[in-house]
Structure 1
Amino acid sequence: MHELLNRAAFLRGAGVGAAGLAATSILGARAEAEEATETAVHPNIRLIREYYQAYASGDLRALERFFAPDIRWTIPGHHPLSGTKTGVAEVLAFFRELGRAGFRAETFFLAADGDWVVDLHRGWSTTPAGLDITWALAFRITGRKIVEAVNFAADQHAADAFFWQHYPLAPLPDRLAHR
């Protein structure tokens, strides 16, 4: 309390009114709480934050260290990129395709419970611009590796339309696997 009174006296002396004093006190308390909370962050949230930093770098090799060898990454929808990708090579191929459209992500919520992390983020394309929606991801983490990720789109119809427009299928017979 003594520290708060000293801060108030200093700010009044600097010409800060009651509203500014309240805002400064709240912001100071928030910063202190965030600093204290950061030391107690769930290790899987830290891992996902690091993953998003690597994703933002655009370096696909930097992502490899986050993935279990048998990772399963599920993309919702009815479009050329949808479905479950299995293994690091398939997941990286998916991210390579997202990179063609300049996809970016801005995380605004992360929560962890046991092996699961839930993420909400803004995901948008830049080249071409055209898709800008909220996505939710559920990450399952084992041994500091992502073993499973499931995407959920806030506007699946917009995502389907965007991916169909910008990722057309190859003509027959080239799109069929030859066995």
Structure 2
Amino acid sequence: MTTEHPNVELIRRFYRVYGGDDPQALAEFFADDIRWTIPGHHPLSGTKVGATEVLAFFAELAKAGFKADPVFLAADGDWVVDLHRGWSTEPEGLDILWALAFRVGNGKIVEAVNFAADQHAADAYFWRKYPLAPVPDRLA
């Protein structure tokens, strides 16, 4: 009988909690100084630093009804590679594969880097869902 790498089990638990209705519940998985990088050129892209910023990002994803279904997980040392189907439900419109590289330390996610299978589709979706405020509100 083989046992699963503990970091893979951590990420499996992360996805089970992510599938719930409380994005703040994800806090238990994050190191205080976590860095989470979202690729692209859209309002949610960039590197989120610290658990507060990462939780705010997940709260925004929750507004779009994002779901994730892991397809593949593997670990090597401190790293876990994940391939999952990720899709939006509010509104529908984005349904692609994503890969994440998670670095784990002391049983917490300390770094995550997202990779989109179709970055152009992701950018277009996030611009539709999270448009910039009109000027002058944007400049206030």
TM-score bucket of the superposed structures, by smaller chain: over 0.9
Correspondence for 1:41: 4
TM-score of the aligned structures, taking structure 1 as reference length = 0.75
Structure with the largest fraction of strand: 2
Q: Residue 50 of structure 2 corresponds to which residue in structure 1?
A: 87
Partners of 2:52 and 2:90 lie apart in 1 by 24
Partner of residue 116 from structure 1, selected from 54, 79, 100? 79
Matched, 1:148 2:111: yes
Deviation at 1:58, TM superposition (A): 2.3
Name the residue aligned to 1:68.
31
Partner of residue 103 from structure 1, selected from 44, 66, 85:
66
Summarize deviations over 1:112-150 as a string: whole Å, max 9, x none: 000000000000001111000000000000000000000
Amino acid aligned to 2:40:
G
- The higher radius of gyration belongs to 1
Question: Given the two structures, how large is their TM-score scaled by the length of structure 2?
Answer: 0.96
1:173, CA displacement in angstroms?
A: 4.3
The unaligned stretches of length 5 or more in structure 2 are none
- Deviating runs (4+, > 3 A) in structure 1? 172-176
Q: Which amino acid aligns with 2:15?
A: Y
Query: Which letter maps to 2:126?
Result: F
Higher relative contact order (CA 8 A, sep 6+): 2
Q: Distance in 1 between matches of 2:136 and 2:37?
A: 26
Counterpart for residue 77 of structure 1: 40
Q: Identical aligned pairs, as a percentage?
A: 72
Deviation at 1:175, TM superposition (A): 3.3
State how far apart, in whole Å, the 1-side matches of 2:25 and 2:138 are. Answer: 30
| Alignment: residue pair count | 140
- 2:121 corresponds in structure 1 to 158
Aligned-residue Cα RMSD (Å) equals 1.1
Does the 8 Å contact 2:73/2:82 carry over to 1? Answer: yes
- What whole-Å deviation, never above 9, does each CA across 1:32-66 have from its counterpart, x for those lacking one? xxxx23xx100000000000011001212320010
Distance 1:61 1:81 in 2: 18
State the Cα deviation string for residues 81-138 of structure 1 (Å, max 9, x = none): 0000001111111111111110000001000000000000000001111000000000
Relative distance call for 1:147 and 1:173 in structure 2 (3 A) is farther
